[in-house]
Amino acid sequence: MAAPSTTSPSASRRAYEHVRRGLLDGTLADGELLSEGAVATAVGVSRTPVREAFLQLEAEGLLALYPKRGALVLPVTAREAREMFAARALVEADALRTILARPEDPALVPGLRAILDDQRRLHGAGDLVASAEADRRLHRAWVAAADNAVLLRFFDGLRDRQERMTVAMMRRGGVRPERLIEEHAAIVDAVELRDADLAVRLVGEHLAAARVAAADD
């Protein structure tokens, strides 16, 4: 049987997930130059799938490629953090008002509470990256529920930058994970009460606090 090709989607995916995890958990620092060879050795693949992974991460705004030198880890600037949280506040406020103006979806609140429980569990396990991913999934859930494909694509395009900032803020003490979870619980309670004004106010305050914490980092 022939050996599997190192250019298979699984090889590229393994390289992508390896680098992405390092970017999110802080193993790969801002300004660090990554080489295809080093990543290929770490993952156990050839350079081709690493190159493909680098291209994807560049498209997501996490790396800058320099031919024959490698890939530079791009920092999240204070301005980018401010602009991202401001944009998210607009998108999420619109999503919450939309879903709470419609007939109640009986699956929405149980789904939100399930993600919130998952975030609590992951925080208790000390996995900051997975906890940040659950944080993003919770916010995404009410954006997705609004059923606006354009806004959901925009929100999804911010995925890794969001998670990276959340992990960095938690790691540096800019925000306490317990506080994030408490704020999330209050937003979900407001959704359950079908109080759009309260839900929008709470998510705005939540994202404004995160914007300040990110700028302080």
Residues 140 and 156 sit within 8 Å (Cβ to Cβ): yes
CA dist., res. 29 & res. 7, Å (int)? 27
Joined together, the tokens standing for residue 106 give: 């009986």
Confidence band for 205, pLDDT divided at 50, 70 and 90: very high
- Give the residue, 55 or 163, on which the prediction is more confident: 55
Summarize the confidence of residues 169-194 as an average pLDDT: 86
Segment among 126-130, 152-156, 166-170, 197-201 with least mean pLDDT: 166-170
